[in-house]
A and B are shown apart, each in its own frame.
Chain A
Amino acid sequence: MTARILIVEDEALVAMELQFVLEDLGHDVVGTAADARTARNLVRENDVDLALVDIHLSDGPTGVELGRELGQEMGVTVLFMTANPGMVRQGVAGTIGVLSKPTDERAVQTAVDYALRRRTGEPVQYAPPQLQLFG
Chain B
Amino acid sequence: MQHTDRSTLSEERARDRYEALAAIADAMPQMVWSTRPDGFHDYYNARWYEFTGVPEGSTDGEAWNGMFHPDDQERARARWAHSLETGEPYEIEYRLRRHDGIYRWTLGRAMPLRGPDGRIVRWYGTCTDIDDLKRMEQAKELLSQELSHRIKNIFAVVSALIALSARRFPEAKEFAAAVRTRINALARAHEFVRPHTEASRPTVGTRTLHAFLSDLFKPYAAPDGEARVRLSGDDASFDDQAATSVALLFHELATNAAKYGALSVEGGRVVLETRRTPERFVLTWTERGGPGLEGEPRRAGFGSSLATLSVEGQLGGRLTRRWEPSGLTVVADLPATALSRRRAAQNVAPTT
| Co-complex (A, B) | yes
Chain A residues close to B by CB (< 8 Å): 11, 13-14, 16-18, 20-21, 56, 83-87, 89, 100-107, 125-127, 129-130, 132
> How far does the Cβ of A127 sit from chain B's closest Cβ, in whole Å?
7
Contacts A86-B201, A132-B203; A11 near B223 (Cβ below 8 A): no
Closest to A18 in B: B160
Is A129 a contact partner of B221 (Cβ separation < 8 A)?
yes
CA distance A101 to B184 in the complex (A): 8
CA distance A86 to B184 in the complex (A): 17
24 A-B pairs, CB-CB below 8 angstroms? Answer: A11-B153, A11-B157, A14-B156, A14-B160, A16-B160, A17-B163, A18-B160, A20-B167, A83-B153, A83-B156, A86-B196, A86-B200, A86-B201, A86-B203, A87-B200, A89-B199, A101-B152, A102-B158, A103-B184, A104-B177, A125-B224, A129-B218, A129-B221, A129-B225
Contacts of A105 in B (CB 8 A): 163
CA distance A11 to B157 in the complex (A): 7
Is A126 a contact partner of B156 (Cβ separation < 8 A)?
no
Is A11 a contact partner of B200 (Cβ separation < 8 A)?
no
Is the CB of B181 closer than 8 A to any CB of chain A? Answer: yes
Kindly identify, within residues 138 to 197 of chain B, every residue whose CB is under 8 Å from any CB belonging to chain A: 148-149, 152-153, 155-161, 163-164, 167, 177, 180-181, 183-184, 187-188, 191, 196
CA distance A132 to B224 in the complex (A): 14
CA distance A111 to B164 in the complex (A): 21
CA distance A115 to B164 in the complex (A): 25
Is the CB of B219 closer than 8 A to any CB of chain A? Answer: yes
Is B203 a contact partner of A89 (Cβ separation < 8 A)?
yes
Contacts of B184 in A (CB 8 A): 102-104
- Chain B residues touching A, majority SS: helix
Contacts of A83 in B (CB 8 A): 149, 152-153, 155-156, 187
CA distance A17 to B195 in the complex (A): 29
Interface centre among B156, B187, B199, B225 (most CB of A within 10 A): B156
Is B223 a contact partner of A126 (Cβ separation < 8 A)?
yes
Is A17 a contact partner of B219 (Cβ separation < 8 A)?
no
CA distance A20 to B201 in the complex (A): 31
Is the CB of B89 closer than 8 A to any CB of chain A? Answer: no
Q: Of A84, A127, A129, which contacts B219 at CB under 8 A?
A: A129
11 further A-B contacts with Cβ under 8 Å, apart from A13-B157, A17-B164, are A11-B156, A17-B161, A20-B164, A83-B155, A83-B156, A85-B202, A102-B180, A106-B219, A125-B223, A126-B223, A126-B224
Kindly identify, within residues 217 to 267 of chain B, every residue whose CB is under 8 Å from any CB belonging to chain A: 218-219, 221, 223-225
CA distance A127 to B161 in the complex (A): 28
Contacts A11-B153, A83-B149, A127-B225; A102 near B167 (Cβ below 8 A): no
Contacts of A102 in B (CB 8 A): 155-156, 158-160, 180, 183-184, 187
Is A85 a contact partner of B225 (Cβ separation < 8 A)?
no
> How far does the Cβ of A94 sit from chain B's closest Cβ, in whole Å?
19
Closest to B187 in A: A102
Contacts of B163 in A (CB 8 A): 17, 20-21, 105
> How far does the Cβ of B216 sit from chain A's closest Cβ, in whole Å?
11
Contacts of B148 in A (CB 8 A): 84
> How far does the Cβ of B324 sit from chain A's closest Cβ, in whole Å?
29
The 7 A-B residue pairs whose C-beta atoms are closest, nearest first, are A83-B152, A102-B159, A17-B160, A129-B221, A86-B200, A102-B156, A101-B156
